[in-house]
Amino acid sequence: MAAAHINDGSIDLSVLGRKDYESLFHQYYQWLCLQACKITEDWHASEDIVQDFFAKCWQNRASLQIRESFAGFALVSVRNAALNYLKKENTRLKHETASYSTLTDEQTSSLAGQPDESDQRYLQIITAINNLPEQRRKAFILSRQHNMKYADIAGELGISINTVKMHLRLAYRELRDGLKLLLPFFLFFLKK
């Protein structure tokens, strides 16, 4: 399965079967939760928001008309739902008002739903990781936990440390080559 792209072709939900709809769910779920969490900073609330979106979307599939790609449509809907959640939460209301008036062009257009490059990259990264062979994916995800040494991962997966390192090497390489370097700009500080 190729890496998903935000602008992938539009989908006619009214003719989509339930099974295909479930595939759509699995394809975009993590990414949409990430997008909601950017706004809400609350994973639990984000999951609720995304699940609600998918549920309502299915309920109304006969009458919904999606003009652009599903991912683009889902992104706008989830972001708006997340903003509404924040408003209801009150706690950040004052913050919200202040930040609206100083948003840059890029930020406002992102709220209006135009996906930017970092949104696209997150989608590609998540999709690429989920497409890794099972062991490699597990090794990669385990390695992200700070207290996990390679020896621990090896024990957990029942493989040698060298195999763990090989998996990581291949996973990072895959991500780098496939995504042409994830973050284009990097600054380091030169030691005098």
Partner 1 sequence: MQPEPLHIDWEKLIDLLERPSAESSPLVAALSAGEQALFARLQQLKDDPLLTGALQLDSVQAWAHMVEKEKEATPVRRIAYGWKKWVAAASLLFIVGAGGWLWMQSRIVRPVQHYQTIAQGLTNHAPSGKVQLVTADGNTVEIDSARQLKEKDGTLIQLRQGVVAYRNGHNNAVTTQGDRLFMNTLIVPRGYLYNLVLSDGSKVWLNAESKISFPVRFDKSERKVTIEGEAYFEVAHNENWPFIVRAGNTETKVLGTSFDIRAYGSNIYTTLVTGSVLFTPPSAGGVRLTPDHQAMYNSHTGATETRKVIADDWAVWRNDDLVMIRMSLAELAEMLERRYDIQVSFTDEKLKDIQYNGALHLTGNVADMLTNLEQTGNIHIAVKDKKIMILPANMK
Binding footprint of partner 1 on the chain (CB under 8 A)? 22, 25-26, 29-31, 33-34, 37-38, 43, 47, 50-52, 54-56, 58-60, 63-64, 76-77, 80-81, 100-101, 103-106, 108-109, 111-113, 117, 122, 125-126, 129, 141, 143-144, 146, 149-150, 165, 168-169, 172-173, 175-176, 180-191
* Distance of closest approach, residue 158 Cβ to partner 1, in angstroms: 19
* Distance of closest approach, residue 176 Cβ to partner 1, in angstroms: 7
Of 95 and 173, nearer to partner 1 (C-beta) is 173
Residue 125, both tokens? 């990264």
8, 4, 10: which is closest to 65 by C-alpha?
Answer: 10
Of 125 and 159, nearer to partner 1 (C-beta) is 125
* Distance of closest approach, residue 37 Cβ to partner 1, in angstroms: 6
Alpha-carbon torsion (105, 109, 111, 116), positive or negative: negative
Contact assessment for residue 135 and residue 159, using Cβ atoms and an 8 Å cutoff: yes
Of 91 and 104, nearer to partner 1 (C-beta) is 104
Contact assessment for residue 67 and residue 27, using Cβ atoms and an 8 Å cutoff: no
Which amino acid would we find at residue 186? F
- Rounded CA-CA distance 28/64 in Å is 19
* Distance of closest approach, residue 39 Cβ to partner 1, in angstroms: 11
Of 8 and 137, nearer to partner 1 (C-beta) is 137
Of 63 and 90, nearer to partner 1 (C-beta) is 63
Q: ∠19-80-72 over CA atoms, to 5°?
A: 50
In degrees rounded to 5, what are phi and psi of residue 91? -55, -35
* Distance of closest approach, residue 26 Cβ to partner 1, in angstroms: 5
